[in-house]
Amino acid sequence: MNRFEKLFGAHGEARVRFLDGEFQVTSPGEYVRCAVSGEHILLQDLRYWSVELQEAYASPAASLERYRQVRARRAGSSGRSR
């Protein structure tokens, strides 16, 4: 972070490490993108994410949609013969 970012705040997309119940900003910014919709989520509004997938979600509906996508993908790959 440079001195101007400290004075005026970080702009642009942040890089975040998602943990259980909290997140850690690894590169400063003011928002992250929803993994489903691409919508910008301000860090102060960030409430939904996946620790396993390291993705942010704009809403509970977006989180559920991603869960269903991942579940369907896993079910499809486990049904294949070797």
The total domain count for the chain is 1
38 - beta bridge partners? none
**Is 28 a member of any domain?**
yes
Domain that holds residue 22: 7-78
Tens of pLDDT, residue by residue over 4-18, are 445 456 789 999 999
Question: Residues 29-45: what's their mean pLDDT?
Answer: 97
For range 53-78, the mean pLDDT: 95
- Is 1 contained in some domain? no
Q: Judge whether 2 lies within some domain.
A: no
Structure-model confidence comparison of residues 80 and 50, the more confident one: 50
Cα dihedral 26, 31, 33, 39, rounded to 10, equals 180
What local confidence, expressed as pLDDT, does residue 78 receive? 75
User: Is-contact 27 14, C-beta < 8 A?
Assistant: yes
The pLDDT score that the predictor gives to residue 11 is 87
Query: Of residues 10 and 50, which shows the higher confidence score?
Result: 50
